[in-house]
């Protein structure tokens, strides 16, 4: 495979990943709203899981192929991109109201998941026991959020969010269409991830850079495109809850339901992912929490700071 062919394979893989995640997110979000889950929780769980699915498939395949640097680099790089690039861009496009629940519970859980990942990677490896612990975190978080959301909906039956009301009254034909979107989205994700991973590994070999660098930059950015598209569209439509919930939820699931299952499938050695890079990931989480806690709304200058930080991160990784 030539360098051009590897880049084309990566590009084709990204296109399939974006299309697959779009179908999965649309179908799964509609199904979740139909059973009475609020838009914020849809963003934190269903949409976040859907937009994290490219990271999951890529990291699992990388783990099976013994490419631990790609598997871990993909998750760490995606977490940085979700906060620096995606939340930053969303804040620049349209300042968003910040739900207090996000600050009190979800962002601290995101930070805790990052700290847990760093602790588990102190010895440079992730074993099956650690992977099982992380994967169980995804189950507990998802169940907790969905139960809390449905309880909230039951308590406020007279003032259901319009998205929930519309989904509940949708026809059976619409329900079947959403199921097909979910199935088709998953299929595209599988094919797209294989193309992206093969192209990325080939490009790394030809360019003489480590698999970890490719995972932290090109692969992470490619698998973060669904989050970027979803968050940017939600921000422009004034759906701040969905936009921020998607970014924060994706980071939680990147640790719990991406690298957790990947290391359950095959123990991972995080070759090339330095302690400094892990610290940068944590730093982005702390700065984002600080911004969200002030004023109740994101500000354009805060988005610009996050974007500038992401550019500096890319420069640090590749230099």
The whole-chain average pLDDT of the chain stands at: 80
* Residues 50-72 pLDDT 10s: 767 777 878 888 888 888 888 89
* Residues 290-305 pLDDT 10s: 888 886 778 889 999 9
Q: Positive or negative CA dihedral for 240, 36, 228, 204?
A: positive
What's residue 181's pLDDT?
79
Q: Identify the CA nearest to 28 among candidates 167, 151, 154, 141.
A: 167
269 DSSP β-pair partners: 125
What's residue 161's pLDDT?
52
Domain chopping of the chain, boundaries: 3-318
Token pair, residue 40, equals 């914020």
Within 13 Å and on the Cβ side, how many CA atoms surround 47? Answer: 28
pTM: 0.79
Q: Which residues contact 171 (CB under 8 A, 6 or more apart)?
A: none
What's residue 36's pLDDT?
62
What's residue 192's pLDDT?
77
* Residues 237-277 pLDDT 10s: 666 666 777 788 889 988 998 999 999 989 998 888 888 99
Collapse the DSSP code of 97 into the 3-class scheme (helix H, G, I; strand E, B; otherwise coil) and give the result: strand
What's residue 155's pLDDT?
61
d(CA 242, CA 248): 10
CATH superfamily of 3-318: NCX, central ion-binding region (1.20.1420.30)
């Amino acid at each position: 495979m030539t360098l051009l062919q590897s880049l084309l394979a990566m590009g084709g893989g990204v296109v399939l990943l974006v299309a697959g995640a779009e179908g999965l997110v649309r179908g799964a979000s509609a199904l979740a709203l139909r059973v009475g889950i609020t838009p914020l929780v849809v963003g934190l769980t269903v949409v976040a899981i859907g937009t994290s699915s490219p990271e999951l498939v890529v990291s699992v395949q990388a783990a099976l192929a013994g490419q631990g640097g790609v598997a871990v680099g993909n998750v760490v790089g995606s977490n940085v991109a979700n906060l620096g690039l995606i939340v930053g861009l969303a804040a620049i496009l349209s300042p968003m109201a910040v739900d207090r629940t996000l600050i009190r519970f979800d962002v601290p859980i995101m930070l805790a998941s990052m700290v847990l990942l760093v602790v588990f990677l102190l010895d440079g490896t992730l074993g099956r026991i650690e992977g099982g612990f992380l994967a169980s975190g995804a189950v507990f978080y998802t169940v907790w959020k969905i139960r809390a959301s449905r309880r909230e909906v039951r308590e406020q039956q007279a003032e259901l969010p319009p998205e929930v009301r519309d989904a509940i009254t949708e026809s059976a034909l619409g329900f079947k269409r959403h199921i097909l979107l979910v199935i088709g989205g998953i299929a595209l994700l599988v094919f797209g991830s294989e193309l992206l991973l093969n192209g990325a590994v080939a490009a790394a070999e030809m360019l003489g850079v480590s698999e970890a660098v490719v995972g932290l930059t090109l692969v992470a950015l490619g698998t973060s495109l669904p989050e970027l598209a979803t968050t940017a569209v939600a921000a422009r439509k004034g759906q701040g809850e969905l936009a921020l919930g998607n970014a924060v939820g994706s980071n939680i699931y990147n640790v719990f339901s991406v690298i957790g299952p990947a290391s359950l499938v095959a123990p991972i050695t995080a070759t090339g992912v330095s302690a400094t890079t892990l610290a940068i990931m944590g730093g982005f989480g702390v700065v984002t929490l600080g911004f969200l806690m002030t004023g109740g709304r994101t500000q354009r200058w805060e988005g610009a700071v996050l974007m500038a930080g992401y550019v500096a991160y890319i420069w640090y990784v590749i230099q």
